[in-house]
A and B are shown apart, each in its own frame.
Chain A
């Protein structure tokens, strides 16, 4: 089986990513950046959903080593077995599932705020979260 060359998303997420890109805070960001934020959102809410039919989102060659480290950290934090970092397919699958769930969470947060004010709420929540961590 050939190794995975792209990050996947659930086919139904295409429209959701398009919608996410319309939010002023994320205007001009790449699919990779949107994916990483979605993954982080899914992770912090401990929500992961297995992907249905898949579709490529971006090429893995575009993922930098420091970004890949984030994916490994997510996978490693869920398992007591450090060997998970050596299994790239698990690392990628975990990231895709958190991103799938996180994307929906992000969009529901955006929809719950008045248009144009999401960045303010987002910043406030983030700073509160960091001050508590």
Chain B
């Protein structure tokens, strides 16, 4: 039997049989098309096994289950009800069987089986073996079977593992696809459909061949050996840098995704870190201001008590000053002067104050003054002693209103500061009310961390790219040195020609790869745009879909502006669906499409539109949609149910171990 060709041939799944696989004890689903549609709807509550249907197809074809929850421990693959019925030594078979038809009448059966045995000790059964069996029956009735690795080769021709995400996926992927690093995703997809893995292997082998030839030529012309080594070193260096650049780009992609995740989480959330810091600063300010207020109040009380004592005695102080002044006027009180100063002046015959020599009259006046002072009574002495403190007290009384007013103003200002800070704290409390402060702060720290990570890796990437440019220049120089060294040895001319051919072929393979990628990129761009514009319910909003040379996908608004970042979830998912279907078209793979929870992330108003589009898709290819009951709303039912070829419901039995399937239309 010739190796069949599936590319370009419509293929559809006609039956899936699950035995002892997770919730499915023994379930068979058939997917017969109607005259107008090949749309199949399966409805099931959470936990009934919708996502495990997606896992079952993946497990059958590729041997893994990519849609298991990463947050929860995965229970064992064998059905629990079947496991519970096992006695020690009993064997159990888990299998998923997918039957498919190609348009030319070829039938495929993909069967993955796994065997388990219950141990004597009990617990989970132990896996004892596994196998993949792929059967192929031509329209003429010839049959052939392929097992394990050979079977995997057939699977790769059915839906290549690298492209399976475009055929069997969950609705979240549609929502997420263009939120993440679009350039990386789109480049990967275009690379996959371009089937360039073979070209890459040719390039690698041409390179190995060139190294061997350079070495052989170097044996004949020893001067060329070091130049050949340099060429190899530079090429290895460039390869190493390319690998580091790829790692760095992956890291940037991851960091951008994380950054976007946290930005999304923090969207519309208050800046808790700043607000908590501000609140703490205000609390500290209030505490410090209250301490100052308390100090100022103590000061004010002291001023008030002292001031009141003096103020209430003002009349007495005024009267005392008047009495003293009157006595002084009457000469009953000698002038206030130091007895020592007078004595020193007379003794030295020189004025102690102005340092002038005393004349006779002055000396006599001072002597008289000293006599009057000596003769003054105790009363006079007491009155004289009162003059200075009373003057000071009266000055304090005069200053008192000003001091009290100054303190009152300061106290009012401090009270105002406390009030303002208290009000701001209350505002912050209202802003933060209902939020988990610690969680948001944690998110903010993660957001800052990933932002830093993006910056650091972007800088690193720039450095690596610069190093690569330098190494390319070194490589060119080494190649020239090598050429010059070979010029002197005519006997290596054949080797040189072969080497030149080899290097030229390698370069052409690289260019061809680039050309194929570019052709497919442009074809993807055109087909995605055609499908998107065709499907879209708004006909005058967008003018184009673009995939630029760096594989960044964008949606261009009629205004000419880039619109992808602000488009609605429904439009974004529609764009991802259009991209997926374009990829099917360009890769010439007309295989079924299976989507888990296709409209879960689309708001009610757009669900109806999206449902209609999926119905249209169902008329052109086999489409299997897995809905939750709430997702399969009345609007969706109206737009899809009539056109669907089949509608079935998954129900989890009361034991919660077995799911059954019931056709409901």
Using a CB–CB distance below 8 Å, which chain A residues touch chain B? 24-29, 33, 36-37, 39-41, 43-44, 65-66, 69-70, 72-74, 76-77, 82-83, 85-86, 119, 122-123, 126-127, 129-131, 133
Bound together, the chains give a CA A70 to CA B397 distance in angstroms of 13
Min CB–CB distance B332 → chain A (angstroms): 9
A sample of 5 inter-chain contacts (CB < 8 A) reads A37-B308, A44-B315, A73-B390, A85-B386, A126-B312
16 additional A-B residue pairs with CB within 8 Å, beyond A37-B305, A123-B304: A25-B305, A29-B302, A40-B309, A40-B312, A44-B312, A65-B385, A74-B316, A76-B319, A77-B319, A86-B378, A123-B404, A126-B304, A126-B400, A127-B404, A130-B397, A133-B314
Q: Are A72 and B309 in contact (CB under 8 A)?
A: no
Q: Report which residue of A24, A41, A82, A122 has the largest number of chain B beta carbons within 10 angstroms of its beta carbon.
A: A82
Total B residues in contact with A, Cβ cutoff 8 Å: 37
Contact with B305, one of A29, A69, A72 (Cβ below 8 angstroms):
A29
Contacts of A122 in B (CB 8 A): 304, 308
**In the assembled complex, B307 has its CB within 8 A of some CB on chain A:** yes
Bound together, the chains give a CA A76 to CA B389 distance in angstroms of 15
- Mark interface residues in B450-466 (1 if CB within 8 Å of A CB, else 0): 00000000000000000
Given known contacts A40-B308, A119-B301, A123-B304, is B316 in contact with A82 (CB within 8 Å)?
no
Q: Are A85 and B379 in contact (CB under 8 A)?
A: yes
Given known contacts A25-B301, A37-B308, A43-B312, is B386 in contact with A72 (CB within 8 Å)?
yes
Q: Are A126 and B307 in contact (CB under 8 A)?
A: yes
Contacts of B301 in A (CB 8 A): 24-28, 119
Min CB–CB distance B204 → chain A (angstroms): 91
Q: Are A69 and B386 in contact (CB under 8 A)?
A: yes
Bound together, the chains give a CA A44 to CA B314 distance in angstroms of 9
Contacts of A28 in B (CB 8 A): 298, 301
Given known contacts A65-B385, A86-B379, A130-B401, is B309 in contact with A76 (CB within 8 Å)?
no
Bound together, the chains give a CA A76 to CA B386 distance in angstroms of 11
Chain B facing A: main interface SS: helix
Q: Are A69 and B390 in contact (CB under 8 A)?
A: yes
Min CB–CB distance B375 → chain A (angstroms): 16
**In the assembled complex, B313 has its CB within 8 A of some CB on chain A:** yes
Given known contacts A28-B298, A73-B320, is B311 in contact with A129 (CB within 8 Å)?
yes
Min CB–CB distance B283 → chain A (angstroms): 26
Q: Are B383 and A85 in contact (CB under 8 A)?
A: yes
Contacts of A83 in B (CB 8 A): 379
Bound together, the chains give a CA A89 to CA B319 distance in angstroms of 21
Min CB–CB distance A66 → chain B (angstroms): 4
Across the two chains, which residue of chain A brings its CB closest to B380?
A82
**In the assembled complex, B496 has its CB within 8 A of some CB on chain A:** no
Q: Report which residue of B305, B314, B383 has the largest number of chain A beta carbons within 10 angstroms of its beta carbon.
A: B305
The 7 A-B pairs with the shortest beta carbon distances in the complex, nearest first, are A40-B312, A69-B389, A77-B316, A66-B389, A73-B320, A44-B312, A77-B319
Contacts of A27 in B (CB 8 A): 301
**In the assembled complex, B393 has its CB within 8 A of some CB on chain A:** yes
Min CB–CB distance A123 → chain B (angstroms): 6
Min CB–CB distance B108 → chain A (angstroms): 94
Across the two chains, which residue of chain B brings its CB closest to A130?
B311
Bound together, the chains give a CA A66 to CA B385 distance in angstroms of 10
Bound together, the chains give a CA A72 to CA B378 distance in angstroms of 14
Contact with A82, one of B306, B307, B323, B393 (Cβ below 8 angstroms):
B323
Across the two chains, which residue of chain B brings its CB closest to A123?
B304
Q: Are B383 and A82 in contact (CB under 8 A)?
A: yes
Min CB–CB distance A6 → chain B (angstroms): 20
Contacts of A69 in B (CB 8 A): 385-386, 389-390, 393
B287-338 at interface with A (beta carbon < 8 Å): 298, 300-302, 304-317, 319-320, 323, 327
**In the assembled complex, B382 has its CB within 8 A of some CB on chain A:** yes
Q: Are B309 and A85 in contact (CB under 8 A)?
A: no
Q: Are A73 and B313 in contact (CB under 8 A)?
A: yes
Min CB–CB distance A126 → chain B (angstroms): 5
**In the assembled complex, B374 has its CB within 8 A of some CB on chain A:** no
Q: Are B314 and A33 in contact (CB under 8 A)?
A: no
Contacts of A126 in B (CB 8 A): 304, 307-308, 311-312, 400
**In the assembled complex, B488 has its CB within 8 A of some CB on chain A:** no
Q: Are A77 and B308 in contact (CB under 8 A)?
A: no
Bound together, the chains give a CA A122 to CA B385 distance in angstroms of 32
Contacts of B390 in A (CB 8 A): 69, 73
- Mark interface residues in B365-385 (1 if CB within 8 Å of A CB, else 0): 000000000000111001101
Q: Are B382 and A74 in contact (CB under 8 A)?
A: no
Q: Are B378 and A129 in contact (CB under 8 A)?
A: no
Q: Are B316 and A85 in contact (CB under 8 A)?
A: no
